[in-house]
Structure 1
Amino acid sequence: MIVKDWCMFCGECAGVCPRNLIEVKEYSLVFNDEECKDCSTCVKVCPVTALEKD
């Protein structure tokens, strides 16, 4: 996943991840890429389209 510069760190993506692989920490997103199954739930819910699939 790519986090573009316009991420607001709102936590919407972290809140919907079915595997709890995203964490918002002080103006950054922490992903567990190795466990991600590319369901795209986080991409779909992002209000500013800051996330993309690789």
Structure 2
Amino acid sequence: MAKKKLKEHLINREWCKGCGICVHFCPKNVLELDEKDKVFAARPDDCICCQLCEIRCPDLAIEIITETQEASE
């Protein structure tokens, strides 16, 4: 079965209002708010591509770009 691998966190900082919902829902604490209360990926290597941040963002400011990796048997 193919596994998703993170390629990029695409964050539209103009759309982000700093509500913190994405930060709250991230199970791996990848996201944080910066000094301007805008989200950024503080620990992208920890991302498991669950896409909860993308799904929960009320402003559609986050998109998780993945690439498919073949799982080793």
Same fold (TM over 0.5): yes
Q: Higher helix proportion, which one?
A: 1
Unaligned runs of 5+ in 2: 1-8, 66-73
CA distance in 1, matches of 2:64, 2:39: 15
Q: Does 1:16 align with 2:59?
A: no
Which of 26, 39, 47 pairs up with 1:29?
Answer: 39
Equivalent position of 2:49 in the other structure? 38
The sequence identity of aligned pairs, in percent, is 31
Higher CA-based Rg? 2
Runs of 4 or more consecutive aligned structure 1 residues displaced over 6 Å after TM superposition = none
Q: 1:21-46 CA distances to partner (integer Å, 9 max, x unpaired)?
A: 11112223231111101100010000
Q: How many residues align?
A: 54
Unaligned runs of 5+ in 1: none
TM-score, normalised to structure 1's length?
0.86
TM-score, normalised to structure 2's length?
0.67
What is the RMSD of the two structures over their aligned residues, measured on CA atoms? Answer: 1.1
Q: Higher strand proportion, which one?
A: 2
